[in-house]
Amino acid sequence: MPSDTGLAVLAFHSISAEPGPTSIDIATFRMQMGVLAEHDFSTMTCDEFLDWRRSGAADATRRVLITFDDGFADFATAAYPILHEHRFSAIAFVPTGKLGQREDWRGANAPPRALMSWATVRELARAGVDFGGHGVTHSDLTRLSAQERRDEIERSAEDLAEHTGRRPRSFAPPYGRVNPAVLVDMSRSYDVAFGTRFARAQPRLHPFDVARIEMHYFREPWQWRGFVRGDRTYYFARRALRAVKQLAMRAIGD
């Protein structure tokens, strides 16, 4: 990956055989991590990513940032052992009021997938996993009142600090949904936030809407291996198709 085109922030949700775009089976995840390792990639921690964003000078040619949304229990049982095997770090964004339960929000899987418990979060935090906020109830922050929105954002940080002993520096708004008020409130509690724009992250740009690469688009080895080697053909085609789909969805919404 050329260093002058930004950094790939990889976005995952569930590592399972469940249907839908938010699940990737464990064999595919193992392949994706194995390809990174084969090409001598290493991962950034959240702190390292923030340093890179500020300076823009550090070499990120063979670096990625790995993120997981929603706090699914299979992060601990399926994803973490593979990450640990390769000595890869990750940020896990969790809805703090839902931990120990099952997903029950708009767009949830059927049957609903289990979420991590607080005991698991604490254990993984001690092992070096970085946890970030994902709200309290996985609500669309743009649809809440001002007080509800602040509670979701601030309480998420407070809960994580209480249970892990460390103030979270990062946040991922549920569904990637933000507006000016959400951006302001996130900036009061966090140093960076990650969205759903399908692109490579750029230093110094969009500190509270950092672009990510959705990894469900790279399920085939040829797709992922090509991207890692620097071939952008499939990546740009996928970006274009996604942009068309988003425009169509906005038109329907209007």
Tens-level pLDDT at each residue, the chain (254 residues) = 333 468 999 999 999 999 889 999 999 999 999 999 999 999 999 999 999 998 865 667 799 999 999 999 999 999 999 999 999 999 999 999 999 999 999 999 999 999 999 999 999 999 999 999 999 999 999 999 999 999 999 999 999 999 999 999 999 999 999 999 999 999 999 999 999 999 999 887 889 999 999 999 999 999 999 999 999 999 999 988 888 876 765 555 54
Helix (H) or strand (E) holding 131: strand 130-133
| pLDDT confidence of residue 172 | 98
Q: Could you tell me the CATH number of the domain that includes residue 111? A: 3.20.20.370
Rounded Cα distance, 27 and 17, in Å:
9
| pLDDT confidence of residue 249 | 57
Query: What is the span of the domain harbouring residue 112?
Result: 3-253
> 78 has which bridge partners?
none
Rounded Cα distance, 126 and 128, in Å:
5
Closest CA to 104 of 70, 65, 145: 70
Handedness of CA 93, 99, 105, 110 (dihedral sign): positive
C-alpha distances (whole Å) from 224 to each of 169, 175, 233 are 29, 24, 11
Structural domain tally of the chain? 1
Quote the pTM value.
0.94
| pLDDT confidence of residue 203 | 87
